Amino acid sequence: MDTIEVTTRLCDLCDQTVAGEDHSVSRSFVLTDWGVFCLRCWDEEIERHRDFEIVKVYIVSQTVDDEWITQPTIVASLDTG
């Protein structure tokens, strides 16, 4: 398993920054049970909104004070070498 420290949060579809190192929201986004989606991707790329549980919606200039923003990303991989 690899742990990747996260300093900024990105949209899981377009990789645009949605929250910076200071946890301020730079692009409005939807936090769901599947991940983070900027509003553009949420509106234009997600077809079945009912398949997602919305946890919270964040707007520009808001500060994310929830614990999830500081959670590192953990990637499980198979070492075949």
Q: What is the pLDDT of residues 31-48, one digit of tens each?
A: 999 889 999 999 999 999
20 domain residue, yes or no: yes
Q: Indicate the residue type of 23.
A: H
Confidence of residue 73 (pLDDT cuts 50, 70, 90): low
Domain that holds residue 18: 2-65
The better pLDDT of the pair 66, 34 is held by: 34
Query: Which residues, including other chains, have CB under 8 Å from residue 64's CB and lie 6 or more apart?
Result: 9, 19, 23, 24, 25, 58
Backbone angles phi, psi at 10, to 5 degrees: -120, 155
* Distance, CA of 17 to CA of 20 (rounded, Å): 7
User: Can you give the pTM of this predicted structure?
Assistant: 0.78
72 domain residue, yes or no: no
* Total number of domains constituting the chain: 1
Confidence of residue 69 (pLDDT cuts 50, 70, 90): confident
55 domain residue, yes or no: yes
- Residue 41 host element (H or E): helix 39-44
What pLDDT sits at residue 51?
94
Average pLDDT, the chain: 85
21 domain residue, yes or no: yes
